[in-house]
Amino acid sequence: MRPLRIASLTLALAYPALSSAEAVPYSIGQDGCTLPDGSGNAFFTSDVEVKIADTGTGGLTARCSARLPESTPRPARTVKLDGSSGALCVVADRSTPSLDAIVTPARRVTLQCRFRSCSELLPTFGAAAVAQFQTGTHGVCYTATASPAGQVALGIRNMGGSTWFRLFSAAGVDENVWLPNVSFLPVTDLAPWFHPTSSGYQGLVHEPGLTPPVVLRTWDASGLKLADSAHFAVSSTPSAEGGSVVIGREFTGIELGARYLDWIDASGSLTRSVPIDGAPRYLVQTAGTKHVLVLDVGLMPWEPSSPWQARWLDAHGGAITSWFTVEATAHGRGPALTPLLDGRVALFDGASWVAVFEDGEAHADAPPGWLGSRPATRLATIGRGRGYAVLPVQPGDGSSFTSRFEVLTAEGESCGSVDVPSPTPPAGESWRPSDLFVGEDGTLLELDFQSPTNPGEIWFGVHCAYRWWPALLR
């Protein structure tokens, strides 16, 4: 939920090697981390966590953190890394002597900070925009998303398995545009099959006459088709540059051949293509390092096969690790890879969160307690990278769906659950919430199924609706 998927607001500052006598102070502004401008007038309004890491050529040599509670007096605060005293984080206000700290010799110093206040994350609902559909007997409302600019794409899935997305403005104006024939299995995560770009949308499309039969198609925000990929598209992930990274395969006209990792920008142009080994089916790119994690789950994730495997590739497709085993088996709608705000990637197997991957490390670890204790959920990044919305996975057993989600800080601390306002259907109708989604700009979307309440009244086909609250969770 690409959330924007930013672990934190980060300033990476390249310096020549620093002597032990030089100082590099940093200050906290209301909207994140800022370098001091000489005035010292930096203020904050929320509980803030700050981490400073020395990432010089010798590797990570120092890490520290400090929390500034909301009750802290308001004079400008400065957080510094004092390498001379064992990577000590010093938090001081303007009245404290020796504001400048000592930074050990390094070629690169990175500062990360994020707001942790629940008050910054919990939403206040206003009026919802609404779109209603009568899909007949061969279609059903299925999934939805929103672009970084707030445009909404509402999906109608037909009996053939493809989904058509109808575009609406954030305010609910029908733009009378369809993005047709997006093809994907009933999966947990929409992003591998369809996602917004920096200027439109990209999705896997299958339609008569296509060669290869499945392509990654690029549309602009008006719904104009811009380009199709040359390779057969297996799956994709939003790229850090605003386009997609795609697992592609050569297509001879008869069979599939070699595998590639393709970078396709928001205009549909191929910017890089790198051969890859193995048989990866899923992938995700991290926002910070732009490393790519690929996952091989066998021919079909639901079928018993050899153990799953994963490997890390760098931002240009070069191998960082060899293939390594991942102990997991798919359930329900199958696996999903989700970037976490701390830079790790989490693996959902369709039922539970079963593993996390450290960036560039050739092993899978158990998920953190806050994540492992929340099975049957999806994560969406909210608050400009300050926290998560924990969305329920739609039950597949016919049981009722509760339109409620939990809000967490970036560290997994619960801010409580949020009930979505109940719909107010016209007289004689019942609207039943069925799923929740979060768009790239923080728009919250709810899928509702409609039915008559009058005894003996029968409606032809499926009647469904989407309600959404623009940028509610931004």
pLDDT per residue as tens digits for the range 265-291: 999 999 999 999 999 999 999 988 999
pLDDT digit string, tens, across residues 19-70: 332 333 333 333 333 333 333 323 333 333 334 443 333 333 333 333 444 4
Residues 293-311 have a mean pLDDT of 78
> Is 60 exceeded by the pLDDT of residue 207?
yes
Contact (CB, 8 A) for 225 and 218:
yes
pLDDT score, position 392: 93
Q: Which residues are 215's β-sheet partners?
A: 205
More confident of the two residues 11 and 412: 412
For 261, 294, 320, 373, 375, the CA distances from 283, given in Å and listed in that order, are 10, 4, 15, 24, 21
For residue 321, give the DSSP letter. Answer: S
pLDDT score, position 304: 52
Residue 85 to residue 53: CA distance in whole angstroms: 15
Q: Which of 339, 249, 354, 262 is nearest to 301 (CA)?
A: 354
CA atoms within 13 A on the CB side of 244: 36
pLDDT score, position 293: 98
pLDDT digit string, tens, across residues 419-459: 999 999 988 999 999 999 999 999 999 999 999 988 778 78
- Supply the mean pLDDT for the chain: 78
**3-state secondary structure (DSSP) of residue 177:** strand
Q: Which of 56, 68, 120, 66 is nearest to 89 (CA)?
A: 66
Q: Which helix or strand (DSSP H or E) is residue 313 part of?
A: strand 308-313
pLDDT score, position 385: 85
Indicate the pTM of the whole model: 0.77
> Is 90 exceeded by the pLDDT of residue 294?
yes
Q: How confident is the model at residue 91 (pLDDT cuts 50, 70, 90)?
A: very low
Q: Which residues are 53's β-sheet partners?
A: 63, 110
